[in-house]
Amino acid sequence: MDLFTQHEDYQDNGLVSNVIPSLVTEEENCALTSVPLSEEIWAVVKSMDLDSAPGPDGFSGQFFVSCWEIVGADVIMRYNISLLLDDLSDMVSSFISNGSWDLPQLLHFYFPSLCDWISQVPIAADPSAEDKLIWTASSSGELTAKHAYIFLRQPSPSVAWGKSLWSKFILPRMSLLAWKVLRGRVISDDFLQRRGVALVSRCDLCGIDSESLDHIFLNCSFTAAIWSHFTSLFELGGVPPSILEGLQVGMAVGRSGQLKDLWLICFTSILWFVWNARNKMRHEGKVFSVGTICRLVSCHIQAASRLATGTMHNSIQDLRILK
């Protein structure tokens, strides 16, 4: 048996107490391990050699005796805290007795608020078990880079339209662009200007006004004509007041599931083909008309509608729009 590496439970068979006599009584042991009184420390200081010092840069005994009224309290506190640190080097289970906390008296004296906080910590069913750090923000209790990132990041508020954009009958690239538009994350001219990029802005679709996110996808005369065409087909009125309201108006309560699916396809298609036309006009010099974009959107609605699962209402409005 390897006596130095193996760990086995110790069983007291009384051999040590019977063979080796006890030279220190329990009372003497308590007196030796008790915290000395300030009078006892002062008596030891007075008994020191007044001309001796703990080192070449240390203070002599004469200094402590002469200035005890000034430095005495600090010396006693420093001595007691050193004793306290020695006591606190034990395991947590050493400070638990009969299922409750048994903290050192010095800790209560110097750090009462800390003792109150510790006393509120629940004690484990098995205090002798190995101590382990627990990350309470994760279900497993382990701290990983992923858990730390989730804990530190600021959660974004959920939005009602979030899930509807990621439908199976909408191409992922179109869903992503629609999400970026509604979140204001599209790199338009005003987006770059807010980040310190100096540029002269002009809308490539109408060639008149400066470019901004709302102008590209809503207020531009080019885009407004497209919105007007499709809102008329879906009987939704004219150009919506905002991009988000353009989505919500076609998803309103009371409209059939099929109309909602088709409008969602139409909404994401308009954003996609308008943005695509803007980029090709700016970077490739191509020219697009409102009619061209409307035909592209209509063709995409017809192709994507085959994957839509919404049902129509038996109403005149649905028959009129879906004819």
DSSP 13-72: -SHHHHHS---S-HHHHHHHHSPPPHHHHHHHHHHS-TT--SSTTSPPHHHHHHTHHHHH
Over the stretch 100-130, which tens digit does the pLDDT of each residue have? 888 877 777 777 887 888 888 887 777 666 7
pLDDT over threshold 60, residue 2:
no
DSSP state of 97: E
CA 154 to each of CA 148, 149, 151, 157, 186: distance values in angstroms, whole numbers, following the listed order:
12, 10, 8, 9, 21
DSSP string, 266-320: HHHHHHHHHHHHHHHHHHT-----HHHHHHHHHHHHHHHGGG------SSHHHHH
- pLDDT top residue among 304 and 14: 304
Over the stretch 293-316, which tens digit does the pLDDT of each residue have? 999 999 999 999 999 888 988 888
**What is the pLDDT, as a whole number, of residue 56?**
66
pTM of the model: 0.57
Distance CA 230, CA 266 (A): 8
Q: CA quadruple 283, 286, 288, 292: dihedral positive or negative?
A: negative
pLDDT over threshold 90, residue 171:
yes
Kindly report the average pLDDT of the chain as a whole number. Answer: 84
Over the stretch 213-257, which tens digit does the pLDDT of each residue have? 999 999 999 999 999 999 999 999 888 999 999 999 998 888 899
> For tokens 């036309």, what's the residue?
277
Q: CA quadruple 211, 214, 217, 220: dihedral positive or negative?
A: negative
pLDDT over threshold 70, residue 79:
no
**What is the pLDDT, as a whole number, of residue 1?**
46
